[in-house]
Structure 1
Amino acid sequence: MAARRTRGMTGSDLSRATVARATAIAEQLRYECSILLELYRKKESFTADLLVTDGRLVSVPPPSSQLDTRDKLWRLHSALLQCRSLLERAITKEEEELGGGMKGEYENQRKMVKGRLSLLLINTGELLKTADGAAVLTPSLEGLELDGPTTLFELKLWVYRIFKEVDYWTKTAITILQALPSVIDKERVRSTRSTRSTRR
Structure 2
Amino acid sequence: MAGRSVNGRHGLRGHAGRTAALARLLHKECIQLLELYRNSESLPSSPVDGGYLVSVPPLVPQLSDAEKICILHAALKECLRLLEDVITREDEEFSNEDSEYKRKRKTVRDRLGHLLASTEQLLVDGQKFEAKVKEELDGQVASGSFGLKMWIVRVLQDLVHWTGQTSDTLRSMPAEMEKAPKTMSRRTRRGAGKIKK
Aligned to 1:108: 103
CA 1:110–1:148 in 2, change beyond 3 Å: closer, same or farther?
Answer: farther
Query: Distance between the aligned counterparts of 2:131 and 2:162, measured in 1?
Result: 17
Query: Distance between the aligned counterparts of 1:69 and 1:30, measured in 2?
Result: 19
CA 1:142–1:174 in 2, change beyond 3 Å: closer, same or farther?
Answer: closer
Aligned to 1:3: none
Structure 1 unpaired stretches of 5+: 1-6, 192-200
Query: Distance between the aligned counterparts of 1:59 and 1:147, measured in 2?
Result: 18
Aligned to 1:120: 115
User: What is the number of residues matched between the two proteins?
Assistant: 178
The share of aligned pairs that are identical, in percent, is 37
Aligned to 1:4: none
Query: Distance between the aligned counterparts of 1:57 and 1:143, measured in 2?
Result: 5
SS in 1 for 2:173: helix
Query: Distance between the aligned counterparts of 2:99 and 2:36, measured in 1?
Result: 11
- Residue 125 of structure 2: which of 98, 122, 133 is its match? 133
1:56 deviates by 1.1
SS in 1 for 2:56: coil
SS in 1 for 2:121: helix
- Contact 1:59–1:79, Cα closer than 8 Å, also in 2: yes
SS in 2 for 1:47: coil
Cα deviations by residue, 1:92-141 (Å, 9 ceiling, x for unpaired)? 1111222x23222111100000011111000100011xxx233x547366
* TM-score after normalising by structure 2: 0.81
Query: Distance between the aligned counterparts of 1:111 and 1:53, measured in 2?
Result: 26
Which structure's CA Rg is the greater one?
Answer: 1
Structure 2 unpaired stretches of 5+: 185-197
- Contact 1:148–1:158, Cα closer than 8 Å, also in 2: no
1:52 aligns with 2:48: yes
1:142 deviates by 6.6
Cα deviations by residue, 1:145-187 (Å, 9 ceiling, x for unpaired)? 2425121111101101111110111110111101111322442
* TM-score after normalising by structure 1: 0.80
Query: Distance between the aligned counterparts of 1:87 and 1:68, measured in 2?
Result: 29
Listed as ranges, the matches of 1:180-195 within 5 Å are 180-187=173-180
SS in 2 for 1:20: helix
Aligned to 1:165: 158
Aligned to 1:195: none
1:154 aligns with 2:147: yes
Aligned to 2:34: 37
CA 1:144–1:138 in 2, change beyond 3 Å: closer, same or farther?
Answer: farther
Query: Distance between the aligned counterparts of 2:173 and 2:106, measured in 1?
Result: 29
Aligned to 1:96: 92
Cα deviations by residue, 1:50-90 (Å, 9 ceiling, x for unpaired)? 23110110011122111123211110000000100111111
1:47 deviates by 2.6
SS in 2 for 1:30: helix
